[in-house]
Amino acid sequence: MAERLHNESEQGEHTPLFRLLRTVCLISAGLGGAVIFVASLTVTLSVVMRNLGFGGIRGDFELVELACAACASLFLPLCQFNKGHVMVDLFTLWLKPVIQRRFDGVWTLIFAACWGFVTWRLTLGMAEMHDYGDRTMLLRAPVWMVYLPAIFGMGLSAVVAFLQSLPMMSGAFRALEVR
């Protein structure tokens, strides 16, 4: 980011909003990691069982597909919270830090709008999948359920980006600063 505050307490690091967002983002990423870990254990167990002649776990590849599809977006809120997305400020380096910060705020707000748009489209997609009744081939698991964590992750990313953009664009929102 263009401008860093000198004092960590000025950044709102100790505000209840900061702590709540950090906790929710960490839980989201932790849940995503736990599900992916269980999926990897399932695949490992299935491969070992096949090699020992017991046959694999029925639908193991479907479980991995569902787990990855469901949990990929659960990591995004923590990445957004930590400002871990790639930023290229090649064309704004010559500007004053305050102006750079305003630009960063505008782009973060646009990012929040994009997260919000994707959340909306995922919600429509989930409703369509639910109405259609689509299920996986072997396990017969409803596909629409995969959308729930994706909607949560994208929606939380939108909220985090929106709350990050406000203090960057105006000092009046400095109390909302989440990093």
Any domain includes 52: yes
Q: Specify if 66 maps to a domain.
A: yes
112-149, pLDDT tens digit by residue?
999 999 999 999 999 999 999 999 899 899 999 999 99
The predicted pLDDT at position 13 comes to 55
Give the range of the structural domain holding residue 73, as residue numbers without chain letter: 12-169
Specify the pLDDT at position 94: 83
User: Which of the four pLDDT bands, split at 50, 70 and 90, describes residue 9?
Assistant: very low
| pLDDT (0 to 100) of residue 158 | 97
In a domain, 59, yes or no: yes
Query: Helix, strand, coil proportions of the chain in percent (round to 5)?
Result: 75, 0, 25
Answer yes or no: is 56 within a domain: yes
pTM recorded for the entire structure? 0.83
The structure tokens listed for 153 are 């992750």
Number of separate domains in the chain: 1
In a domain, residue 122? The reply is yes
56-77 pLDDT per residue, tens: 899 888 999 999 988 889 999 9
Average pLDDT, the chain: 86
Asked, for residue 174, whether it belongs to a domain, the answer is: no
Flag whether 176 is in a domain.
Answer: no
129 found inside a domain? yes
Residue 129's CB is within 10 A of a number of other CB atoms, namely: 17
